[in-house]
Amino acid sequence: MKILVCMKQVPQKDAPLKLNETGTWIREDVSYEVNEPDAYALEEALRQKEKHGGEVVVITAGPARSQQVLREGLAKGADSAIHLEDPGFVGLDAFNTAKAFAAAIKEENFDLIFTGLQSDDYGYAQTGVVLAEIMGWPHATIIMQIDKQDGGIKVKRELEAGFFQHVDMPLPAVLTIQSGINKLRYATLIGIKQAKNKPLRKVTMDEVRSSLGDNMQKIEKLYIPQKTKKTEMLTGSPAEIAKQLVEKLKNEVRVL
């Protein structure tokens, strides 16, 4: 199987964030890391390859710094990488990112495309699904398990409240992978060293521009929320407090 894994570089979870000057996104001077859900997608792809043979390709879109996520993917065992390299890719919405990916891989024949469930920064959870739509492929989200079958795959999806759904799907298909379904491997010294000599194809903005449209979604303004939390102490006997509480839950908060 030939599997493409879409990976994103996101600010580290504990990075102190600052707004940029236009107030539309954060300032760039933070540390970045691999979007954690994508790490699980990569791990799943590598395991499928180990089981069934084939090839794993990692792809990302972003400025030069984002090459780091591809290096990490290659170091862990991906065979090659595709980098849509331009700072302009950062500002694309999910629809345009998916279009850019589709344009960049139109010459390749993948059996499967994996993405993480969502990104830690925007959290759209859309890019994978939109990509399937653009490719004209079926997709399934929140995947817990993938088993190869004759002529297709059987996947297990996580639903709410402890329910799962088992689906037979044809290939090719797009799957968005649930986090935590496998145990991430470590990159090894030899893996990191070999990654330097693995093929990395760069795609410029110009090569895919004709496939892109206007962003349908954009961030107008980003601001740090003002703390408005107010604590109110209820006093009285336990019975009185309970009564007041029920009153408030009914009439003020309206959850009862």
Please choose, out of 8-16, 112-120, 154-162, 205-213, the segment that lies near other proteins by the rule CB under 8 A.
8-16
Secondary structure class of 87 (helix, strand, coil) = helix
51 binds other proteins (CB under 8 A): no
Position among 2, 25, 26, 30 found at the interface with other proteins (CB under 8 A): 30
**Contacts for 30 with CB less than 8 Å, ≥ 6 apart:** 11, 12, 15, 16, 17
19 binds other proteins (CB under 8 A): no
Distance CA 143, CA 179 (A): 9
Please choose, out of 116-124, 138-146, 182-190, 220-228, the segment that lies near other proteins by the rule CB under 8 A.
182-190
Binders of other proteins among 151-180, rule CB under 8 A? Answer: none
Position among 19, 26, 167, 184 found at the interface with other proteins (CB under 8 A): 184
Structure tokens at 6: 């879409």
12 binds other proteins (CB under 8 A): yes
What DSSP assignment string belongs to 8-19? -EEE-TTPPP-B
14 binds other proteins (CB under 8 A): yes
Please choose, out of 53-61, 135-143, 191-199, 207-215, the segment that lies near other proteins by the rule CB under 8 A.
191-199
Sheet holding 164-170, edge to edge: 164-170, 152-158, 139-149, 173-177, 112-116, 2-6, 55-62, 80-85, 200-203
87 binds other proteins (CB under 8 A): no
CB 153 within 8 A of CB 171: yes
Position among 21, 29, 160, 214 found at the interface with other proteins (CB under 8 A): 29
Distance CA 176, CA 41 (A): 8
> How many residues interact with other proteins (rule CB under 8 A)?
19
200 binds other proteins (CB under 8 A): no
> x/- site string to other proteins, residues 99 to 138, per CB under 8 A?
----------------------------------------
**Contacts for 65 with CB less than 8 Å, ≥ 6 apart:** 9, 32
Nearer to other proteins, 11 or 37 (CB): 11
CB 102 within 8 A of CB 135: yes
Which residues are near other proteins by CB under 8 A? 12, 14-16, 29-31, 33, 183-190, 192-193, 196
